Structure 1
């Protein structure tokens, strides 16, 4: 079945008159009649009941009408996308640590995939140094960084979501009765901390001269694994808010540090490179979400 013939068929079905359809299509009536007769022969089915003044569809004709509308619409949309340079496909690679800011990013990504089903997403987890290295090597398109870092060598967007440091513990722990956690509360506690937090020293000013009294028993890169140890009651975890399961079924709870200690969230990408169309769309939609 040719698209041109399907358009002829739909015009006759719409006007229910061969002469009027031929006039609208700018073809002669004999040509139109022959094209439709050939279509019926090709399909092996009668599509029209030809009356003296009006043409009506048979059951097979009604079925073809519904399908032909879909086929023609798809063809028209495909052509329009090509002509308007709107084809969006390919893979979007995002590397990130764990942060509440990822909720906004995943919402944008989900909407893109819904609008453009041919787009695929690849997520990579790791700390800021690992993600910057992956971005430099071209294995990811974007990196989401938490913390104060030099962004001058990148293009970037700053997200409004702020990461608040705090202590994760079992709900029955005495410290869970406090609204906030001070440096003195942490003295001699068995602490788990992220490798990035230790390497970048954001806590040096916060706990000041109590540094030597902090008992850091281990490090982690992913909160999920570390919280399994905290659930056993053998450790406490310093991490960002919104990363643990806060449901009633969870035996863990989070308390923010005091004085408050926060980290910004930024998404970065390479400067002065030609971005794919899906990457351009992601940047555009993420920027729009900030407004």
Structure 2
């Protein structure tokens, strides 16, 4: 399975017809059709359902498209990094992260890094910890930023001094907004949204304690921006992290921390199995230098 043919396959999936893809690739239509047919024969699957106007992907075709995107992006990045092994550092830096105020340190560092080395390109990939770890395993990422206590035996890890603080996002008109902190008793019978990651790891099990049976979880979210929109449109409250939502004078919502306090560590991780590029090594060097002893 050659990268060249995978790029042909991706072009066809994007253009939806072999004729348009052939024009873009500067190939004859019979040549491109033969390449795709040979690919199906090699893989022993049917990749396309050929219609009268456009082609659609089979389940096997959709799976190959996902993997082909990863493989071609990884190949392009590898070539780029190999071609920039020189004193003038350039290349791409891929970082996957959830929503966290700890990213301020990292983005400030990268801003300075790009000022010193304009040839460095940053690619940010948003996602929860499971997405970040999957992309690290696939070689799509150089580094991941994860939130909370987790086993990290398969990764190199560097813990940041910042910690994320949990609290409740609620309307400024809500009675609980008059309080400085929110306790488990305050949240009894209140409709709540909670982060998908926290729900799956039962992160609040100890915090709820005796009132767990009276907590009304209405659903989960993985992006706090979308979740906080529900606060202004109804009675739902959102359990989320501090400093991720606008709570300024013009905002209808506010943030109140939990009591007892709940915080989460922020950790930068990278694979033990893959070598770092010159750009990634420079980033790691500066990140370490930015941390207190």
For the residues of structure 1 that align with 2:150 and 2:289, how far apart are their CA atoms?
A: 24
How far off its partner does 1:85 sit?
Answer: 4.2
**TM-score (norm: length of structure 2):** 0.69
Gaps of 5+ in 2: 1-84
Match of 1:273 in 2: 274
**TM-score (norm: length of structure 1):** 0.70
Match of 1:245 in 2: 246
Secondary structure at 2:211 match in 1: helix
Match of 1:190 in 2: 191
For the residues of structure 2 that align with 1:274 and 1:116, how far apart are their CA atoms?
A: 21
Paired residues of 1:170 and 1:233 also in contact (CA < 8 A): no
Match of 1:174 in 2: 175
Paired residues of 1:95 and 1:143 also in contact (CA < 8 A): yes
Map Cα deviations across residues 44-77 of structure 1 (whole Å, 9 max, x no partner): xxxxxxxxxxxxxxxxxxxxxxxxxxxxxxxxxx
Secondary structure at 2:141 match in 1: coil
For the residues of structure 2 that align with 1:121 and 1:234, how far apart are their CA atoms?
A: 39
Match of 2:74 in 1: none
Paired residues of 1:88 and 1:277 also in contact (CA < 8 A): yes
How far off its partner does 1:272 sit?
Answer: 4.8
How far off its partner does 1:273 sit?
Answer: 2.9
Match of 2:201 in 1: 200
Secondary structure at 1:265 match in 2: strand
For the residues of structure 2 that align with 1:234 and 1:120, how far apart are their CA atoms?
A: 43
For the residues of structure 2 that align with 1:151 and 1:86, how far apart are their CA atoms?
A: 33
Q: How does 1:1-291 map to 2 (within 5 A)?
A: 85-291=86-292
Gaps of 5+ in 1: 1-83
For the residues of structure 2 that align with 1:258 and 1:246, how far apart are their CA atoms?
A: 20
How far off its partner does 1:113 sit?
Answer: 1.2
For the residues of structure 1 that align with 2:241 and 2:150, how far apart are their CA atoms?
A: 17
Q: Considering only CA atoms, is the larger Rg found in Structure 1 or Structure 2?
A: 1
CA RMSD between the two structures: 1.5
How far off its partner does 1:220 sit?
Answer: 0.6
